[in-house]
Chain A
Amino acid sequence: MEPDVSPVSNDNSPVDDRRADSTPLAAKPQLVELFSDFRDAGVAGFALAQVPRGGRILWVQERMAALETGRPFGQGFGRFGGDPEQLVLACSRNTGDLLWTMEEGLRCTSIAAIIGEVWGDPKALDFTATKRLAMRAERQGVHVFLIRFQGHPNLSAARQRWNISSLPSAPHPYDGKAPGIPRWRAELFRARGAKPGIWQAEYDRAAHRLDLVPLLSHPAMAEEAAPQVQTG
């Protein structure tokens, strides 16, 4: 069957309303929570793909997240429409500092996105803290991504909560043995104003947007819809 491709653009190009309704990606900036395994850096790409191209990014890392998953590498940002010149990394000792830094960043008008990385389920990251972030993000119009490595979906006020993991990448146009354009499995399990579901996300570099294709939940049909993995 033909998968329903629903592109969502981050710039202000006109988007088909009918399609926009069906896409779960945030139309306006808000707090988005992304859960992921620490071995999987795909979640960072998923977040960066939604930040306006070349926007100023405040990247906040908790100490544990930095130790386990390393720091972002500025030169790799270009592939996801980012500009290393516009990146500021804040290393916080604990979750309290991380939340303070993100809130402080939300007071600054010239920032396009704030990406915070938390390890596990810290006590300080409770409903109140996420609610503060969510409301400020909406008021300021700043994308806020809270990446939770090895976290559990406890109580949170995030407007969208995703589970992100990598899928085998698209075939490389010139080299069958090489990894191609990355693809991610994006599971939206809680959202305000959107229906939960599972998608296959692929980043379109030329247009700087995320393409979401519904991933069929039945394994047999999923096999059919997903591209065949080439091993070699």
Chain B
Amino acid sequence: MVLAREATHGRVVHDCNAAAVAAGISRGSRITDMRAILPDLRVEDAACAADAADLAMLSFWVRRWCPWAQSDGADGLLLDCTGSDHLHGGEEAMLREMTRAFAAMGLTARLAIAPTIGTAWALARHGGHKRFICEEADAARHLAPLPVPALRLDGATVLLLKRLGLKSIGALMDVPREALIRRFRRIEAPSANPVLRLDQALGRHKELLVSEDIAPPLRALRKLAEPIGHLDGLSQILRDLAVDLCALLEREGRGARGLVFTAYRVDGGVLQCDVRTGRANRDPAHLTALFDGKLDRFDPGFGIEAAALEAVDSEVLAAAQDDLTGKTRDDMAFTGLIDRLVARLGIGAVLKPVRQGSHIPERGELWAPAAIENAGSLSAVQRRTTTPLRMLQRPEEAEVIHAVPDGPPARFRWRYKLHDVARSQGPERIAPEWWRENSRARLRDYYHVEDSEGRRFWLYREGLMDDGRGGNPQWFVHGLDA
């Protein structure tokens, strides 16, 4: 079986199992070629992104053995176990435990401990041992028989060294150093410079392991001396927590975008609710106000003994100074208002109009959530003709009597009521968007119409009499105007 991925010239082998290797299949070769070798080859798609995410997670998981860990390429992990092996009963015992722990997850691991990253990398991948421990004095001896790719060199450099007749690391070490330096002195990238890689492997050149840090959670926690059984007390605690959390956020120079309030009940139950803000914020009063009405659903049961407020999502928020016009403050107050409305009505209920690149009215302007930054389409259409003040949520069919076919309406019935048209203006013709709709879509002729009582409507006729796209044209009321 092999995993396949897309490459420039069709699908290639991303990785393969032991049986496939035994059949002569190698990584990077084309699937079609490999099918020729092995007709009943089973091919599955590789999920590279998911693999990378899993590896990143594993790099945190392996910190049970040592505090510094880093993922390496697509299929490796680097651990700096200096000084932490004795906690697990020595290096040998630690490696055994690692093998067992990985096997429990269904993963095969090849492990090597060495004085440098380069040597450990080479021994783990090319050493041929499941577990290997290399002492500092033996590094050169263990490296010597390994092939050149074990030095973490790229394909082109490996090919170049092969042409020079240097197939093993030992052969490379035997070449006079000055000659190698002269040949590779201009090359900056470490993966193309065998001298640098050799120095790194032998510890002559320092290499750092950059361990990714887990940011401490932005969280305020209160444990209560006495469990509380009523919600008034809980909202007071929420206020206190908001003050604590905002102090924390201010120290970090961040503002909260998403908050989760968790209350821990005496009987082990956990109550949770979350809110979001439209803009990074660290105002305790505002953050507290977002939870208005949400705590009412909490059932304290036998009492709540602890509560925590965590900023699960945060952004950098620098301190801002009010200018003299007070515009910054006004904008902050306005985004604060939108946050509060969103917290109660929902994100889809607080909207702002956003222009789009379309002449069809209902597509030319959409209602988008006001809490999300959205400047509208770059190709937004600026309508030159007058538009009505209100738009019905969808066009409603009207029965129309007209004096001339393809002319303005003389009388129309909308929602069971007859309107006599006193004045009308139009048509404003909007052609169908052929790149979006099918070929049966009809044009629209919009008319501004005023009835005998002065009420104004925006009607359109869909299609023309003989446009060959359906029967008689239909009329729709689309907007109401002041």
Contact = CB atoms under 8 A, between A and B. Distances in A.
The dominant DSSP class at the A interface is: mixed
Interface band, chain A = 35 or more
B364 interface: yes
A48 B452 CA distance: 24
B349 A92 contact: yes
B353 A91 contact: no
B456 A70 contact: no
Contacts of A231: 422-423, 452
A78 to B, nearest CB: 9
Contact of B455 (A40, A230, A232): A40
Interface centre among B334, B365, B383 (most CB of A within 10 A): B334
B390 A177 contact: no
Contacts of A182: 454, 456, 481-482
Interface residues of B, number: 50
Contacts of B333: 108-110
B464 interface: no
Given A100-B344, A101-B345, A109 B330 contact: yes
B348 to A, nearest CB: 8
Interface stretch (B127-135, B158-166, B335-343): B335-343
B390 A73 contact: yes
Nearest to A84: B353
A92 B479 contact: no
A110 B480 contact: no
B482 A80 contact: yes
A79 B352 contact: no
26 contacts: A41-B455, A69-B390, A70-B479, A73-B365, A73-B389, A74-B353, A75-B353, A76-B389, A76-B481, A89-B367, A91-B345, A101-B341, A104-B337, A104-B341, A110-B331, A110-B334, A165-B454, A166-B482, A168-B423, A168-B450, A169-B423, A175-B425, A177-B423, A177-B425, A178-B448, A231-B422
Interface of A: 39-46, 48, 56, 58, 66-67, 69-77, 79-80, 84, 87-93, 97, 100-101, 104-105, 107-111, 165-169, 172, 175, 177-179, 182-184, 229-232
User: Nearest 8 CB-CB pairs, A to B?
Assistant: A45-B482, A74-B353, A110-B330, A41-B480, A166-B454, A178-B425, A70-B392, A179-B450
